[in-house]
A and B are shown apart, each in its own frame.
Chain A
Amino acid sequence: MSAYLLPLAIGVAFGFTLERAGLGNARKLTGQFYLTDLTVLKVMFSAIVTAMLGLFWLSRAGWLDLDAIAIPETYLRPQIAGGVVFGAGFALAGLCPGTSCVAAASGRGDGIAVAGGLLTGVLASGLGFPLFLDFYDSDARGVWTLPSLLHLPAGVVVFGVVLVALAAFAVAERVERRA
């Protein structure tokens, strides 16, 4: 039973925090593209830094084994194509998949429309999957991580990402003040 309840509880908590951060609002999300509201960048970078430092130090303390983490492989061209489609849909709808569910759950009409479009798209791409199966499986690069690509120790990359995040926060605040 916990196999169902735990993911449900995590999903509800994730949705609640997205809503509390204001990310169920399409105006706030599209502010990212017009450089008027950079909440998305700040929330995402905060999540990355928190998870990255947590994983690094939990591993260092011996509480979890980073080598046991299954990391999805990189399929470069298909993933770039997916990113472009995702970005176009995000800019057009004003919501991404997770936030469209949050917006729908809080009763917003645009959220319900986008979540409906999302499910229709999932069904259509599932039915048409054989058509682009070859492309889907192409350009496999194996598992890519920043430390292996940069040939640097993980701790140095961790520090670098923290510095980039803090710089991004400072720039974001300045851009928002000007908007």
Chain B
Amino acid sequence: MTRTRRWLAIAALALGAAAAFAGTPAPRHPRPAVTHLYAPPSGC
């Protein structure tokens, strides 16, 4: 594993673990900048 990959894995792990503690992704800001998104059917 290269050094870059190792750091990316550590960053993902840290952000994921922090997310588990954060629980729900409820916005703190009453009026978010982006309010409408469409998740299209994914494919490669």
Assess the B35–A68 pair: CB atoms within 8 A.
yes
- Tell me whether chain B's interface is mostly helix, strand or loop, or mixed: loop
Assess the B24–A154 pair: CB atoms within 8 A.
yes
> Taking the complex as formed, is A62 at the interface, i.e. its CB lies under 8 A from any CB of chain B?
yes
Per-position 1/0 for B1-44, Cβ under 8 A of A: 10000000100110111011111111111001111111111011
Assess the B44–A99 pair: CB atoms within 8 A.
yes
B residues touching A (Cβ–Cβ < 8 Å)? Answer: 1, 9, 12-13, 15-17, 19-29, 32-41, 43-44
Contacts across chains A and B counted by CB atoms under 8 Å? 112
Name which residue of chain B comes closest to A163, CB basis: B16
Q: Which of B19, B28, B33, B35 contacts A155 (CB 8 A)?
A: B19
CB distance from B23 to the nearest CB of A (A): 4
CB distance from A155 to the nearest CB of B (A): 4
- Tell me whether chain A's interface is mostly helix, strand or loop, or mixed: helix
Known contacts: A60-B22, A60-B28, A63-B34. The answer to whether A49 contacts B40 by CB under 8 A is: no
CB distance from A26 to the nearest CB of B (A): 13
> Taking the complex as formed, is A142 at the interface, i.e. its CB lies under 8 A from any CB of chain B?
no
Contacting residues, chain B, for A97 (C-beta < 8 A):
43-44
**10 closest residue pairs by CB, A with B:** A62-B29, A162-B16, A64-B34, A159-B20, A155-B19, A158-B19, A59-B25, A159-B16, A153-B23, A62-B27
Assess the B44–A40 pair: CB atoms within 8 A.
yes
Assess the A53–B12 pair: CB atoms within 8 A.
yes
Contacting residues, chain A, for B17 (C-beta < 8 A):
159
Q: Which of A61, A68, A96, A166 contacts B36 (CB 8 A)?
A: A68
